[in-house]
Amino acid sequence: MTDPAQTLDYGTALPAQQRNRVLRNTYWLLALSLLPTVLGAWLGVATGITRSLSGGVGLIVFLVGAFGFLYAIEKTKNSAAGVPVLLGFTFFMGLMLSRMIAMVLGFSNGASLVMTAFAGTAGVFFVMASLATVIKRDLSGMGKFLFVGAMVVMIGSIINVFVGSSVGMLVISVLVIGIFSAYMLYDLKQIIDGGETNYVSATLALYLDIFNVFQGLLALLGLTSGNND
C-alpha cells in the first residue's frame, strides 16, 4: 500500500484554515493538559504515594498504566471522551514523575533545579515551535529515525532500572533531551503542514515530547548539579 505521505504534499494535505484550527486547538489542549500533570506531581510529592514504586515494581506500574492510557486515547480520540481520557493520562504521568521530583527537591538547591528544568523545557519548545514555522522542508522522513532512537533509549532505560548506573542515567538523559527535542520539531511540523489532523493525537505527541525533555533535564540537573549541603 502506498504511504499517503509519499503522494501528498504536506503543505496541501489540509486547507490552511483547517491546519490553523488544528494547531490552535492543540496548543489550547496542551496548555490544559499541563494542569493535571502539575496536580498529579504535587499530589505524589505531598503524599509520597509513589515513594515505594522503585525498581521493577515502578517500571511495571508505569508501563501498564501508560500503555493502557495510550490505547484508550487512540480508541476515543474521535469522540467526546478523548479529551477527558487524555487529561487522565497527563494526571497519571504527573503522578509517576513525582518520585523524581521529590528526589530532586531533597537537594538543598532542589527547587531551583526544578525551575531550571521547567524553564529549559519551555525554551526548547519555543525554539522548536519557531523553527517549525520557518523550515519549509518536509521533515516527515525524520520519523523513522526518531522512532528507532526512542526505542533504543527506552530499552536502555529499562535495563538501567535494574543496573542502577549513574553514568548510564546520565547518557540516557542526554539522549532523551536530544531525541525528544527533535521529536518536538517533527510533531510541530506535522501539524503545521497538515500531516496530523486530530488535535487530541497532536496534543498527545507534543505532551510526550515535553514530558520527556523535562524529565531528561531534571535527571541531568539532579545528577550534575544536585547539592546535598
Give the pLDDT score at 229. Answer: 63
Q: Does residue 105 belong to any structural domain of this protein?
A: yes
93: closest CA among 173, 204, 218?
A: 204
Give me Rg for the CA atoms of the chain. Answer: 18
Cβ-proximal residues to 190 (8 Å cutoff; 6+ apart), any chain: 10, 139, 140, 196, 202, 205
Residue pLDDT, tens place only, 162-220? 887 888 889 999 999 999 999 999 999 988 888 888 999 999 999 999 999 999 999 99
- % pLDDT > 90, the chain: 56
Residue 129: domain span: 14-225
55 belongs to a structural domain: yes
Rounded Cα gap, residues 204 and 182, in angstroms: 16
pLDDT at residue 2, as a whole number = 37
Residues 97-101 have a mean pLDDT of: 92
Which CA distances in Å does 118 have to 76, 115, 153, 221? Answer: 30, 5, 22, 11
- How many other C-beta atoms can be found within 10 angstroms of the C-beta atom of residue 140? 16
DSSP 187-200: HHHHHHHTS---HH
Residue 5, in any domain of the structure: no
Query: For 48-141, where are the alpha helices, taking DSSP H only?
Result: 55-76, 82-105, 110-134
Q: Determine the pLDDT at residue 34.
A: 94
Q: What is the pLDDT of residue 141?
A: 83
Number of domains in the chain: 1
- Find where cell 494535505 sits: 13
Average of per-residue pLDDT values in the chain: 87
Pairwise CA distance, residues 36 & 173, whole Å: 24
Higher pLDDT, 157 or 39: 39
**pLDDT confidence of residue 6:** 36
